[in-house]
Amino acid sequence: AVLACAAEVRPLLHFTPEKGWLNDPNGLFYDRKDDIWHIYFQSNPKNPFWEKELHWGHATSKDLTNWTQHESAINPSHRGEGILSGSVVVDRNNTSGFFNDSVHPEHRIVALYTRNPGLIETQEAAYSVDGGYTFTKYEKNPVLDVKSSQFRDPKVMWHEASNQWIMTVVEAQDYQIQIYGSDDLKNWNFHSNFSAGYPGFQFECPGLSEVPIAGTNETKWVLFLAINPGAPWGGSASQYFVGDFDGYEFKAIDSLTRFVDIGKDYYALQTFSNVEKKDGVIGISWASNWQYANKVPASNWRGMLAMARNFTLDYVSVNPQKKLLSLVESPIFEANVSKTSEKKNVKLQKGDSIEFETKSGVFEFELDFQTMKNITYPEQPNLDLYITSSNGKESIRFGFEADVGAFYFDRPTNVFQNPYYSNVVTANIQPTKKYEYNIYGVVDQNVIELFFMNGTTSSTNIFYFSDGKPSKVELKSNYNDLFKIQKFSLRDLSV
Ligand code: FRU
């Protein structure tokens, strides 16, 4: 009963399916005619766990926060068939020939997805003439078949410079991201293979995006890649490479693997297609981890998406020597602030605490602090933020240990007990020259998204309380004359 209770609270700022199961976000696109965001997602509408048949569930939003769920948009035609992950493009110029003049150019919508009828995986096309609500499968499917059982997750985009459609897709267990090109979305030519990063068990959900470099007119290409299992922190992870793309080959600028998010629950990131340039690169991930996704507390639905994020690139100070071209991320959502609490310029001494109440249990917070002296081994001076449930039984403990210089995140493991649902994740952060740190966080029902140092590192983690909502937020230290809190603020949110 306790488990059901925790799961029945739906997040406010995160998308969840009305019923059944959700995993990867699919087919994310922006409709420029009706100014509406479309998301599709891996869906098992029958049961709250992963099982074929799999459909493309569908929802739309005007603000990337309030979502309306619609009928499933692409459905399997046989028992045991999976309509697996894939993407959507707007075929404005009717390169595919799927459309006639009666279909508005902005509503010429084509989906490319993986079909898994059982033993092999092929890429298929389907088109929609009603703005993305219903799709007709191309009668000559598949559009790409290499006789592989592990060939999936096509992400398609229009590449302006080489005037062609580009697909990235994985040969999952051969550790290849394959790049194909096409003039018509139906005939695909192999261009190149890319293989790098953490291999893990297999590659999944690749994607290529041109991302602006902050403060310049330049861009670089970012190649996203999910691996599962095999994340450094266990299970699922979203990594990326920064490089150049000429329409045929992706060349990374270095051989470093970067991570989109270092939390346990941020997987299968996909970016929106057809977004206006000025709006930048926007993406959504699934907020879970295959290690326990099918087992987290649930009622008749299970699974949520992370909030939409904006991505830019910047030269980020990752250690005293190096500025590394990396993603900078910030969440996108619309909410009303119902109450603000704030403290500024406080030296937080041993035993002191700054305490805020949250009424809605959904809030954002900012914490800017400075360490005022160097600490020597073996002292263990902590700055701790506790987020506690209204019955006082569980807390998230999130904080910083000044000797190690890293953040930790610790979630209660009593409500959802699972060996892979680990309680601690850590983040190494390079402070500013003045030993200043900043964190921005959004806490929703059962999920916390943290952004360190102006969004240069993020950590997304789901959590479970026995009574759902957080109500008390406290900042504490165990050490004197060390932590100067420049700002600690909390805003209660409602939608
Ligand atoms: C990633 C993934 C994809 C696949 C889908 C199936 O989470 O395994 O590779 O298309 O989920 O639901």
Percent of the chain as helix, strand, coil, to the nearest 5: 5, 55, 45
| Predicted confidence (pLDDT) per residue in 324-380, tens digit | 999 999 999 999 999 999 999 999 999 999 999 999 999 999 999 999 988 877 888
Q: What is the mean pLDDT of residues 93-110?
A: 98
Computed over every residue of the chain, the mean pLDDT equals 95
Asked whether 204 lines ligand 1 (CB < 6 A), one says yes
Asked whether 83 lines ligand 1 (CB < 6 A), one says no
Q: Which residues are catalytic?
A: 24
Asked if pLDDT for residue 443 goes beyond 70, the answer is yes
- Report ipTM (2 d.p.): 0.97
* E strand or H helix at 423: none
Q: What are phi and psi of 277, to 5 degrees?
A: -50, -45
Asked whether 84 lines ligand 1 (CB < 6 A), one says yes
Question: Nearest CA to 353 among 177, 473, 445?
Answer: 473
Q: Which of 26, 41, 42 to mutate to test the pocket of ligand 1 (most atoms within 8 A of CB)?
A: 42
Query: Is residue 468 very low, low, confident or very high in pLDDT (cuts 50, 70, 90)?
Result: low
Cα(96) to centroid of ligand 1, in Å? 26
Pairing state between β 353-357 and 363-371: unpaired
Shortest-distance atom of ligand 1 to CA 286:
7
Asked whether 103 lines ligand 1 (CB < 6 A), one says no
474, 490 Cβ separation under 8 angstroms = no
Pairing state between β 20-31 and 301-302: parallel
| Predicted confidence (pLDDT) per residue in 204-247, tens digit | 999 999 999 999 999 999 999 999 999 999 999 999 999 999 99
| Nearest CA, atom 6, ligand 1 | 84
Q: What structural domains does the chain harbor? A: 2-331 (2.115.10.20), 335-494 (2.60.120.560)
| Nearest CA, atom 9, ligand 1 | 204
| Predicted confidence (pLDDT) per residue in 417-433, tens digit | 999 998 788 888 999 99
Exposure letters 108-130 (e unless 16+ CB within 10 A, then b): bbbbbbbbbeeeebbbbbbbbbe
Q: What are phi and psi of 7, to 5 degrees?
A: -85, -20
Question: Nearest CA to 146 among 184, 178, 182, 181?
Answer: 178
* E strand or H helix at 4: helix 2-8
